[in-house]
Structure 1
Amino acid sequence: MHSLMVYISLANTSRIGHLYIYIILLLVVDRVLMAAASLRFTVRRKAAELVGPAGPTPRELKRLSDIDDQDGLRFHIPVIHLYRSEASMSGRDPVAVLRDAVGRALVHYYPLAGRLRELEGRKLAVDCTGDGVLFIEADADVRLEHLGDAMLLPPFEGLDELLWDVPGSSQVLGSPLLLFQVTRLSCGGFILAVRLMHTMADAQGLVQFLAAVAELARGAAMPSVRPVWRRELLEARNPPRAALAHPEYDQVTDTRGKIQLLDDMGHRSFFFGPKEVAAVRSHLQPGLQKSATTFEVLTGCLWKCRTLALAPNADDQMRMICIVNARGGRKCKRNAIPTGYYGNAFAFPVAISAARDLCARPLSYAVQLVKDAKGQVDMEYMRSVADLMVQRGRPHFTVESAYLASDVTKAGFGDLDFGWGRPLYGGPAKGGVGAIPGVASFLIPFNNTKGEDGIVIPVCLPGHVMAKFADEVGKLLRPAVKHADVCPTVIKSAL
């Protein structure tokens, strides 16, 4: 781009410049066409099959917790893993290895092979039928190294081909709870895409199950972590008594701050390495610089920049929803949720602020609100949410004027080794909440093309808003460096 700007300048002073700019534009167009062509590949899929437990399992009805079956979790979540070829696995078919390991893992996690039913009061329970999970075998005529950066970050190009939505499989009730697609690549690598009904497990629970599959695929006789059901730990009390305030479930009718689902919704992934995180942190008050976590710093930054970019009315109440895991936190009693529990064990605490304050006040204001919201979550908070679910008919958390952030940097998606080593990428396949784009971002561990470890954050916004958002993030980085040439690295753009 800098070279193109130089040639445009020359074009203003000579006719030769016109020739230069013509050549450069041809080169640019050629590069764009080559990049687009590199993403075109054909996926050949076999018919989906059901893979059931490899051994006998109990036939029973198991109730989900009152955290599991809230409206905001009644959808399927996709994750994706990209694996290189591995010399030690020469001759081994990843499809056969994974199909076999999934069947053996389902013996231990047999509820995942069942089907959901709805009981009285919209209560969900899993009928442990042993019917199995969907499994698709596929091949693609492309090498991993040819996919380029655009395929290494969410939202993945061609995701619909890499994770085929089998007709009739995406319902909440009566559908398979897991769908696997293993796509072999021409280089010997493969792509594993998985879709899970969210009511059955959260990110940590899904990783626990996939880790069991990985251990069995590598030859283990048993998973090293014993699965624990114990959903009664997060059921409402009798009678339910939600004693705490839960504004994350407020009924909000003002939709002025809601993102309209436009045709020009754009996706960009922003990389924050150590220097970028330090730059954002430098804007905070000294005490907060030391005490705020990386999640709090980046979430406060994104919330503030997003609000500035959306430019809502000054009086609009903006919401920042934080996913907070209740497993083993400082405020949660040790072992309150046992090791091996794979159900949903997190809350949606929300920070709320008038738009004018988010825009006008320093970054410390937003980060402190995020920190305070996160700090509310303990086991009493979780039980209060469960009580509220029963009292109010299992409502969806409020998405009006809201933004949601979830930290999966420690979930372990990038550690899953099925025999081919760790994935080049492992984690969420797209942002959004269910079918609602633009309201959620994940913090995902990532090693960029320069070999730097950091966090990548996919963001979805209307195209005209995205440019303003990127500019606002860039402003928060510039004061931390000597030169004004550092800005958030845009890993991917698909406007």
Structure 2
Amino acid sequence: MSSPSPVFSVRRQAPQLIEPAVEQTPRELLHLSYADGQLRYNIPIILFYKNNPSMKGKDPVNSIREALGRALVYYYPLAGRLGEGPDKKLMVDCTGEGILFVEAEANIKHEQLGDSIYPPCGSFDEFLYNVSGSEGILNCPLLLFQVTRLTCGGFIVAIRLNHTMCDGPGFSQFLHAVAEIACGKQAPSILPIWNRELFNARDPTCITLPEFEDGTHNSQNVAVTNSTNMSYKSFFFYPREFKALRNHLPSHLKNCTTRFELLTACLWKCRTAALGLKPDDVVLVSFPINSRGNHQNMHVPLGYYGNAFVLAAVSSRVNHLCDNPLGYVVELVKEAKAQLSEGYVKSSVDRKVIRGRTMQTTFERMFNITLADNTHSGFDEVDFGWGKPVYGGIPLVRLGSSAYSRCNKNGMDGVLVPICLPSSVMERFHQELKIMTQ
């Protein structure tokens, strides 16, 4: 699914800094974890809201702007600036300088946006203005918000987040705090907790993770990776599609396989078949797993909003992946998830410290796909008083990664999966997907 972006214009006010809504918040230097330090890039998020007649006379821009200032009293590190200490270890200086906020208006109704609200959101640059000098990681605002009013009374909230500060669930926690305050609460129902030392390396470090086989970096792989003719599409998986996928599984897997395992196995298998790689090439799928909860004995406290995930991964030769039924691939995904434990999480952090970013380079050579599950992050439930967003999640997708989002389209609840592939591969991928889901 993809559709052209409608033509419209956006008028923006000058960017402003939103500071915590008290005269002074704690001025301290807080260390980020090693897990945080590996994510030195910004991530975008977008939320689309329809008009709510019961909110007539209330301005979403002013409501969200005021609530942000009050929420930053509790989340004051987000109003600071990042710096580096010894060994390039990241620290946040809680200066209270604030986050960037842009007020805007678009001469378009929500209904006119159509399917362009779903990734790839072709108009995202209009909804999130790249304020000059703000796009860095160090010594820059850690958050950029743009709230755009629509002529129908709806609005759009677009955000750029410095990933070192939060993962998806952690940032969703902050957004829900802002929403609660916008709706009249005096304080967030879940108070933030720092505790970044939970995801620091051990002393001495110890790696016990499995090593993944290197793929063949052949000329065919280079040609696909360097392709400039890219295609971007979103695919919707409703109960009908999940039922069709589950029908491919043997009886012992049908009732114990989650939707995430089913979808991840399907996408990995179909994408690999579409790429047309050599039978003995190696491909890899990786996926972040949230360490919150007690299932990994990490004891991450309620309110922790830092990066609390570990990357699970599994590799396979192309012929094994393509020639075997879907149940075989599901078993691989399940085995990768089953490895997760407190020791796995600690070992993952230790490996990042010892090897830096070399693992990312290795993954890229193996034609990897990283698939993140955002269906439980709660971006689709952030209610500033106007109701839940029509769509809340990532606006963009790039080659080699995707994120699942919950979505209600045409009155049906489902999972949205944006995909980026070379145009020559996308049609084959679509055909492979049809075979699996019909």
TM range (shorter): over 0.9
Matched position secondary structure for 2:244? helix
> Aligned residues: percent identity?
47
Matched position secondary structure for 2:300? coil
User: Does residue 387 of structure 2 align to residue 421 of structure 1?
Assistant: yes
Q: What is the CA–CA distance in structure 2 between the aligned matches of 1:134 and 1:246, rounded to whole Å?
A: 42
Report the alpha carbon displacement of residue 148 of structure 1 after superposing the two structures with TM.
Answer: 1.0
Q: Which residue of 1 aligns with 2:120?
A: 155
Contact 1:322 1:374 in 2 (8 A): no
Report the alpha carbon displacement of residue 243 of structure 1 after superposing the two structures with TM.
Answer: 3.0
Matched position secondary structure for 1:204? helix
Report the alpha carbon displacement of residue 88 of structure 1 after superposing the two structures with TM.
Answer: 2.1
Q: Which residue of 2 aligns with 1:315?
A: 280
Map 1:28-427; keep pairs closer than 5 Å.
39-55=6-22, 56-70=24-38, 73-149=39-115, 151-245=116-210, 247=212, 254=217, 257=221, 259-328=224-293, 330=295, 332-333=296-297, 336-393=299-356, 395=358, 397=360, 398-400=363-365, 401-427=367-393
1:334-366 Cα distance to aligned partner (Å, 9 max, x none): x71010000111111111000111111111121
Q: What is the CA–CA distance in structure 1 between the aligned matches of 2:245 and 2:294, rounded to whole Å?
A: 25
Contact 1:138 1:181 in 2 (8 A): yes
User: What letter matches 2:51 in structure 1?
Assistant: S
Contact 1:122 1:393 in 2 (8 A): no
Q: Which residue of 1 aligns with 2:424?
A: 464
Q: What is the CA–CA distance in structure 2 between the aligned matches of 1:134 and 1:469, rounded to whole Å?
A: 40
Report the alpha carbon displacement of residue 292 of structure 1 after superposing the two structures with TM.
Answer: 1.3
User: What letter matches 2:113 in structure 1?
Assistant: L
Report the alpha carbon displacement of residue 246 of structure 1 after superposing the two structures with TM.
Answer: 5.2
User: Does residue 434 of structure 2 align to residue 474 of structure 1?
Assistant: yes
RMSD: 1.8
Contact 2:102 2:145 in 1 (8 A): yes
- When structure 1 is superposed on structure 2, of 201-210 and 254-263 the one drifting more is 254-263
User: What letter matches 1:160 in structure 2?
Assistant: D
User: What letter matches 1:424 in structure 2?
Assistant: V
The change in CA–CA distance for 1:238 and 1:252 in structure 2 (over 3 A counts) is farther
Matched position secondary structure for 1:131? coil
Q: What is the CA–CA distance in structure 2 between the aligned matches of 1:114 and 1:48, rounded to whole Å?
A: 17
User: What letter matches 2:396 in structure 1?
Assistant: K
User: What letter matches 2:77 in structure 1?
Assistant: P
Q: What is the CA–CA distance in structure 1 between the aligned matches of 2:164 and 2:337, rounded to whole Å?
A: 22
Contact 1:322 1:370 in 2 (8 A): no
Contact 1:322 1:373 in 2 (8 A): no
Q: What is the CA–CA distance in structure 1 between the aligned matches of 2:36 and 2:215, rounded to whole Å?
A: 23
Q: Which residue of 2 aligns with 1:446?
A: 407
Q: Which residue of 2 aligns with 1:28?
A: none
The change in CA–CA distance for 1:132 and 1:421 in structure 2 (over 3 A counts) is same
Q: Structure 1 length as normaliser, TM-score?
A: 0.84
Task: Give the aligned length.
Answer: 431
Report the alpha carbon displacement of residue 395 of structure 1 after superposing the two structures with TM.
Answer: 4.5
Report the alpha carbon displacement of residue 284 of structure 1 after superposing the two structures with TM.
Answer: 1.3
Contact 1:230 1:341 in 2 (8 A): yes
User: What letter matches 1:268 in structure 2?
Assistant: K
Contact 2:196 2:306 in 1 (8 A): yes
1:124-176 Cα distance to aligned partner (Å, 9 max, x none): 11111111111001000000011112x22111121011011112111111111
Q: What is the CA–CA distance in structure 1 between the aligned matches of 2:134 and 2:412, rounded to whole Å?
A: 39
Matched position secondary structure for 1:147? helix
Q: What is the CA–CA distance in structure 1 between the aligned matches of 2:353 and 2:273, rounded to whole Å?
A: 37
Q: What is the CA–CA distance in structure 1 between the aligned matches of 2:344 and 2:312, rounded to whole Å?
A: 9
The change in CA–CA distance for 1:192 and 1:68 in structure 2 (over 3 A counts) is same
Q: What is the CA–CA distance in structure 2 between the aligned matches of 1:95 and 1:324, rounded to whole Å?
A: 34
**Based on CA coordinates, which of the two structures has the bigger radius of gyration?**
1
Q: Structure 2 length as normaliser, TM-score?
A: 0.95
After TM superposition, which residue ranges in structure 1, 4 or more long, deviate above 6 angstroms? Answer: 250-253
1:57-85 Cα distance to aligned partner (Å, 9 max, x none): 11111111111111xx2111101001111
1:1-46 Cα distance to aligned partner (Å, 9 max, x none): xxxxxxxxxxxxxxxxxxxxxxxxxxxxxxx9xx85x700101111
The change in CA–CA distance for 1:378 and 1:352 in structure 2 (over 3 A counts) is same
Q: What is the CA–CA distance in structure 1 between the aligned matches of 2:137 and 2:268, rounded to whole Å?
A: 31
User: What letter matches 1:172 in structure 2?
Assistant: I
Report the alpha carbon displacement of residue 251 of structure 1 after superposing the two structures with TM.
Answer: 7.7
1:231-283 Cα distance to aligned partner (Å, 9 max, x none): 00111112222233354xx8878365464243321111111111100101111
* Runs of 5+ unmatched residues, structure 1: 1-31, 432-436, 479-495
